[in-house]
Amino acid sequence: MKKVYIRTFGCQMNFLDSEVVVGILAREGFELVDSPGKADVILFNGCSVRQHAEERVWGGLGALKKIKAKNRKIKIGVLGCIAEAHKDEILRRFPQVDLVVGPRRVKEVGIFLREVINKGNRLVVLGQGSDFLKDESFALRKNKTSAFVRIMVGCDNFCSYCIVPYLRGRERSRPSRDILDEISALVANGYEEVILLGQNVNSYGKALEEVIDFADLLKQTAKIDGLKRIRFMTSHPKDISMKLIEVIAGEKKIVRHIHLPLQSGSDRILRLMNRGYDSGDYLTLVAKLRQAISGLILSTDVIVGFPGETRDDFKKTYNLVKEIGFDNAFIFKYSPRLPAASAKMKDDVPLSEKEERNQLLLALCRKEVRK
Ligand code: 5AD
Ligand code: SF4
C-alpha cells in the first residue's frame, strides 16, 4: 500500500480540495501519513493568491529535494492554484517534482498518480476537468463535526488584482439537489455544521437550469433536520440582496457572521480594483446588515499598497475601517499577479510603505477587537 502525505496552503476551498484528494486516494488504496518522511507520495496543494502564499510553497518544495535525493522512488506532486499559475517555473526550478495538477483537475489525481508511478514520466494536467462539480461525498474531512461544502467554483468578477478567475475559471454553481443531498448525508454521519464555500457565494445559482439564488439555498439548507449551524463564505458586497439579509436575520441556524471584503476605503482605488461599489455603498450595506441582523459579526479583507495608492487613499481606508469597527480584519500587502489586470500597472508603492500601512491597520484592528 502506497503512503501519501499532503500539505495544504491557502484558502478554505483549497483545504476542501485536499480533503477531496485524500478521499479519492483512500478509495484507490493509498494510506494517509502525517509526515513527508514516512511517505511514498508527497503532495503539495498550493495557493497563488498573493506572492507571500507562493513563497511558502516554494520554500516547502525546495526542502523536498533532499528527501528525493535519498529515495528516487518517492513521487512528488504540486496541486492547486499554484500549479495552474506556474507550471513552467515548477518544472524548471524543481526537477524533483513529478506531477503538476491544476485545481480543476484534482478529482482525477488518482489516475495521474498511477501513470507517474507506473511509467516514471513527468505529467502536467491543467485547465477545466469534465466532472469538477460532480459528487464530492467521498471527501475525507479532517473535522468530524463541521464540514466544508462547495456550492460553486470560480469567479466572474475580475477584480483587477485577483488571479482566481484565471486559475479556477468562470463561475459555476452546483445543482441544489446535489448540495442538499451531500449535506443530508453529512448530517447522517454526525456533522452538526456546514460551511458553504464559493469564491462569491452571493451569486450562487447563476446559469443553473433551476431558478434559485443563494438566499433560497440557505433556506433549503436550514430545513435539513439535525443540522445545527450554517456558515458561508465569501460574500461580495455588491451582491448582497435584501432578500438574503432577511433570510440570515430570520433563520436561527445561520451563524450571524459575514465575511465581507472591503479591500479599500478609497473610491478611486475601489474603481481601479473594479470592485463595483464605493465606500458609501459599503457603509449603507453595513448599516442595513447591522440593523436587520442583531449580534452580527463582521470581518473583512483589506489590501494595502495597490498601484497608485497614495497616503491620502490609505487614510480613507484607515478611517473607514475605524468607522465600521470590524470584529476581525485580514490585511494584505498588494502583490502583482499576472495575468490579473492590475499587474500591468506599476507596483509603485514601496514595500516599506506597504509594511507601514499594514502595521497601522493591524494596530487599529487590534484596538477594535479589544474594545
Ligand atoms: N495582492 C494582495 N492581496 C490580494 N488578495 C487577492 N489578490 C491579492 C493581491 N494581488 C487578497 C484580497 C482577497 C484575499 C483572499 O486576498 O484581500 O480578499
Ligand atoms: Fe484559494 Fe485563491 Fe489561493 Fe486558489 S489562489 S488557493 S482560490 S485563495
The model's pLDDT over 268-291, given as tens digits with 9 standing for 90+, comes to 999 999 999 999 999 999 999 999
Ligand 2 geometric centre to CA of 13 (Å): 7
Ligand 1 geometric centre to CA of 304 (Å): 10
- pLDDT reported for residue 1: 74
- pLDDT reported for residue 118: 93
Report the percent of the chain where pLDDT is more than 90.
90
Cα–Cα distances in angstroms (integers) from residue 149 to residues 100, 129, 152, in the given order: 25, 19, 9
Average pLDDT, the chain: 94
Q: What is the pLDDT of residues 142-152, one digit of tens each?
A: 899 999 999 99
Q: Give ligand 2 pocket residues (Cβ under 6 A).
A: 10-11, 13-14, 47-49, 80-81, 164, 167-168
Position 84 pLDDT exceeds 60: yes
Q: What is the pLDDT of residues 172-199, one digit of tens each?
A: 999 999 999 999 999 999 999 999 999 9
Render the burial of 98-125: b for 16+ CB within 10 Å, e for the rest.
bbbbbbbbbbbbbebbeebeeeeeeebb
Q: How confident is the model at residue 128 (pLDDT cuts 50, 70, 90)?
A: confident
Which whole number is the average pLDDT over 321-330? 96
Ligand 2 geometric centre to CA of 10 (Å): 6
191 close to 126: Cβ distance less than 8 angstroms: no
pTM for the model: 0.94
- pLDDT reported for residue 369: 58
- pLDDT reported for residue 137: 85
Of 79, 34, 73, nearest to 61 (Cα)?
79
Q: How confident is the model at residue 367 (pLDDT cuts 50, 70, 90)?
A: confident
Residue nearest (by alpha carbon) to ligand 2 atom 8? 11
Which whole number is the average pLDDT over 116-139? 86
Residue nearest (by alpha carbon) to ligand 1 atom 16? 49
Ligand 2 geometric centre to CA of 17 (Å): 11
322 close to 283: Cβ distance less than 8 angstroms: no
- pLDDT reported for residue 81: 95
- pLDDT reported for residue 129: 77
Ligand 2 geometric centre to CA of 129 (Å): 17
Q: What is the pLDDT of residues 287-302, one digit of tens each?
A: 999 999 999 999 999 9
d(CA 119, CA 122): 9
Q: Give ligand 1 pocket residues (Cβ under 6 A).
A: 49-50, 161-162, 261, 263, 301, 303, 332, 334-335, 337
Residue to probe by mutation, ligand 1, list 11, 332, 349, most atoms within 8 Å of CB: 332
Of 158, 186, 189, 169, nearest to 126 (Cα)?
169
Map residue 231 onto helix, strand or coil.
Answer: strand
Q: What single-letter DSSP state applies at residue 175?
A: P
Which whole number is the average pLDDT over 331-345? 96
d(CA 274, CA 316): 17
Task: Please identify, by atom number, the ligand 2 atom nearest to the C-alpha of residue 46.
Answer: 6
Task: Please identify, by atom number, the ligand 1 atom nearest to the C-alpha of residue 340.
Answer: 10
Ligand 2 geometric centre to CA of 265 (Å): 23
- pLDDT reported for residue 212: 97
- pLDDT reported for residue 134: 75
Q: What single-letter DSSP state applies at residue 146?
A: E
Ligand 1 geometric centre to CA of 180 (Å): 31
Ligand 1 geometric centre to CA of 2 (Å): 37
Which grid coordinates belong to 97? 517534482
Position 230 pLDDT exceeds 60: yes
Q: How confident is the model at residue 115 (pLDDT cuts 50, 70, 90)?
A: very high
Which grid coordinates belong to 127? 485547465
Residue to probe by mutation, ligand 2, list 78, 81, 335, most atoms within 8 Å of CB: 81
Task: Please identify, by atom number, the ligand 2 atom nearest to the C-alpha of residue 163.
Answer: 5
- pLDDT reported for residue 300: 97
Position 130 pLDDT exceeds 80: no
Report the percent of the chain where pLDDT is more than 70.
98
- pLDDT reported for residue 136: 86
Task: Please identify, by atom number, the ligand 1 atom nearest to the C-alpha of residue 263.
Answer: 17
Q: Where does the chain have alpha helices with state H?
A: 12-27, 51-70, 81-85, 87-93, 109-119, 164-168, 176-188, 214-222, 242-250, 267-272, 279-292, 311-324, 351-370
Position 132 pLDDT exceeds 70: no
Ligand 1 geometric centre to CA of 67 (Å): 33
Q: How confident is the model at residue 366 (pLDDT cuts 50, 70, 90)?
A: confident
Q: What is the pLDDT of residues 154-176, one digit of tens each?
A: 999 999 999 999 999 999 999 99
Q: How confident is the model at residue 23 (pLDDT cuts 50, 70, 90)?
A: very high
Of 166, 163, 247, nearest to 204 (Cα)?
247
